[in-house]
Amino acid sequence: MRTIEIFDTTLRDGEQSAGVNLNTIEKIEVAKQLERLGVDVIEAGFPAASKGDFDAVQRIGSTIKNSSVTGLARAQQRDIDAVWESLKGTAEPRLHVFLATSPIHMTHKLKMTPDQVIDTAVQAVQYAKKFFPVVQWSAEDACRSDLNFLVKIMERVIDAGASVINLPDTVGYITPHKYGELFRYVRENVPNIGGVKLSAHCHDDLGMATANSLAAIENGADQIEGTINGIGERAGNAALEEVAVALRIREDFYGATTRLKLDEIKKTSSLVSKLTGMRVPANKAVVGDNAFAHESGIHQDGVLKEKTTYEIITPELIGVNSNRLVLGKHSGRHAFKNKAVELGFDLTDEKLNEAFHTFKDLADKKKEIVDEDLFSILTNKQTEMTEGVGFTLERMQVQYGMDNIPTATIELKFEDGNVTRLASTGSGSVEAIYNTIEKILPGKSKLLDYKINSVGGGRDALAEVYVRLEYDGENTSGRGTAQDVLEASARAYLNAVNRSAQRSHSRGKEAVQASL
Ligand SMILES: CC(=O)SCCNC(=O)CCNC(=O)[C@H](O)C(C)(C)COP(=O)(O)OP(=O)(O)OC[C@H]1O[C@@H](n2cnc3c(N)ncnc32)[C@H](O)[C@@H]1OP(=O)(O)O
Ligand SMILES: CC(C)C(=O)C(=O)O
């Protein structure tokens, strides 16, 4: 059976989803989970894009041991140098360099002739080969490119040293049959293609990213690129969990497998969803909440008699535990630690202890603590920011009545220990809270987006709020979890402001270090 390599780009193309902004700590947590999932390659970012991206790629490169780490670069020395600086010293530094090959992109975006594109691509790959043992070259917008041109440029970049060639469907335009043909065509027509790995990278604009990726596999692709939960630019990328599970369930047809530990899928999906704030739709294939739920009588009858009547995937395959956990207010640290490890967390004793106290407080208020609650508490602790930066919510009181104007009184503690208390009104309770916080904060802020989810089920479920703001001219996002919707809303707002403060704090530290 063939083994298909999995190239995960959740932290690069996935982070290109509108409204998603992960900090370095969060990216490292995602990378560690991707390593546990068993992906072959992690595309950790685009180092030339920003200092934050550079740092994240560097830290992921030095943390991850069992997956290769790569970074993206345009066909420019400056971008290639940035990837090299971030990954030199890692076990197998790997570069992903791209240049568009379609007439639309070459004419309107790059403003280059086809010959200039060939020369630029060749020079970039030759330059990269001085540093990187593995160079992957992508023909951006390959699916709207001229086939003869594609064959010509592939031959040249292979000669220049590229050992992986990616044929992305950048705008989600191709259909499965045509994508399959493209892979077969280049295999048969590029003279020096023997030994080169072919990679597929699909977008979901027409809802065909998974089908197209599978068609590429049927026609000789060696590597599939995609993201967890299918997040990514515009309508997103191919969802890796769908591709990997389809290969397993239809092994009879595809005759191909991956190295993924499929029972890590659900956990990876939940982590990515939680940290990005991009909720997985209930009916999403493989990882949606309803993926294993049977609603109608005839289906339930069938499943009770024989599961396979209506279930082609077992929940256990992707790591959904059908045994429900019973951890409650009488549980102790051992059981809590045991569960944390089982859920894939590796916290210091100090953080575990703090998470344990949060769990106990919640257990006092909530009837039943389920895995989702613990996952939320432990993820918050794992990705918590540096102590002492930003504002802390000390107290909050909200008055609401159908005939009254909602009023929020809030007490915030500043980094220097000073406490400010203010009250303000709004047309609703959340608006009253945000108006009050905005009055207390020294910077100017504007709410851009607000989303609320419930964690777990039942009327006592935790509320999880995601916000996007502009704070002091910078876009930032944050999340807050609490049993009460209003408290979660306040915490999310402060988390977004604190993340922005944390970034300024790191920039300030770097400037001081640079001046020494
Ligand atoms: C299909 C994809 O997903 S590609 C990856 C998309 N990801 C990103 O864009 C990452 C975030 N990007 C950024 O931070 C910025 O765009 C940067 C730092 C990369 C570049 O910023 P700027 O220098 O201000 O350029 P800007 O983004 O406005 O324009 C892109 C330039 O790169 C050029 N370019 C685009 N792709 C390539 C390429 N593969 N190789 C060389 N040049 C390229 C464009 O033609 C344009 O050049 P021009 O300035 O001469 O017209
Ligand atoms: C950089 C390339 C691979 C890309 O993201 C795309 O073409 O969609």
With helix as H, strand as E and coil as C, how does 142-162 read? Answer: HHHCCHHHHHHHHHHHHHHCC
Instruction: Tell me the percentage of the chain whose pLDDT exceeds 70.
Output: 96
Q: Where are the domains of the chain?
A: 2-276, 333-382, 392-514
Return the number of other C-beta atoms located less than 10 Å from residue 491's C-beta. 24
Give tens-digit pLDDT for 294-332: 878 888 888 888 999 999 999 999 998 765 556 778 888
Q: Which residue, among 192, 201, 249, has the nearest Cα to 222 in the 3D structure?
A: 201
pTM of the entire predicted model: 0.88
Q: Which of 140, 157, 212, 224 to mutate to test the pocket of ligand 2 (most atoms within 8 A of CB)?
A: 140
Interval between CA 376 and ligand 2 midpoint (Å): 32
Provide the ipTM: 0.98
Average pLDDT over residues 470-482: 90
Average pLDDT over residues 427-455: 93
C-alpha triplet 292, 318, 247: angle, nearest 5°: 100
C-alpha triplet 59, 61, 67: angle, nearest 5°: 135
Closest ligand 1 atom, CA of 72?
5
Average pLDDT over residues 210-230: 98
- Ligand 2 binding pocket includes 232 (Cβ within 6 Å): no
Return the number of other C-beta atoms located less than 10 Å from residue 454's C-beta. 15
Q: Which residue, among 109, 103, 107, has the nearest Cα to 74 in the 3D structure?
A: 109
Domain 392-514 grouped into CATH 3.30.160.270: yes
C-alpha to C-alpha distance for 355 and 377, rounded to whole angstroms: 6
Q: Which of 98, 102, 223, 227 to mutate to test the pocket of ligand 2 (most atoms within 8 A of CB)?
A: 98
Tokens in use for 39? 């992906």
Interval between CA 153 and ligand 1 midpoint (Å): 21
Closest ligand 2 atom, CA of 141?
7
- Ligand 2 binding pocket includes 140 (Cβ within 6 Å): yes
The overall average pLDDT reported for the chain is 92
Pick the CATH number of 2-276 from 2.40.50.140, 3.20.20.70, 3.40.50.620, 3.60.21.10: 3.20.20.70
Interval between CA 168 and ligand 2 midpoint (Å): 6
Give tens-digit pLDDT for 123-161: 999 999 999 999 999 999 999 999 999 999 999 999 999
Which residues form the pocket of ligand 1, taking CB atoms under 6 Å from any ligand atom? 13, 16, 46, 48-49, 74-76, 98-99, 109-110, 140, 170, 233
Q: Which ligand is closest to the CA of 236, given by its number?
A: 2
pLDDT at 389 over 80: no
Asked if 462 contacts 433 with a C-beta cutoff of 8 angstroms, the reply is no
Closest ligand 1 atom, CA of 109?
45
The pLDDT-based confidence of 284 (bands split at 50, 70, 90) is very high
Closest ligand 2 atom, CA of 166?
3
For ligand 2, atom 1, which residue shows the shortest CA distance?
98
- Ligand 2 binding pocket includes 79 (Cβ within 6 Å): no
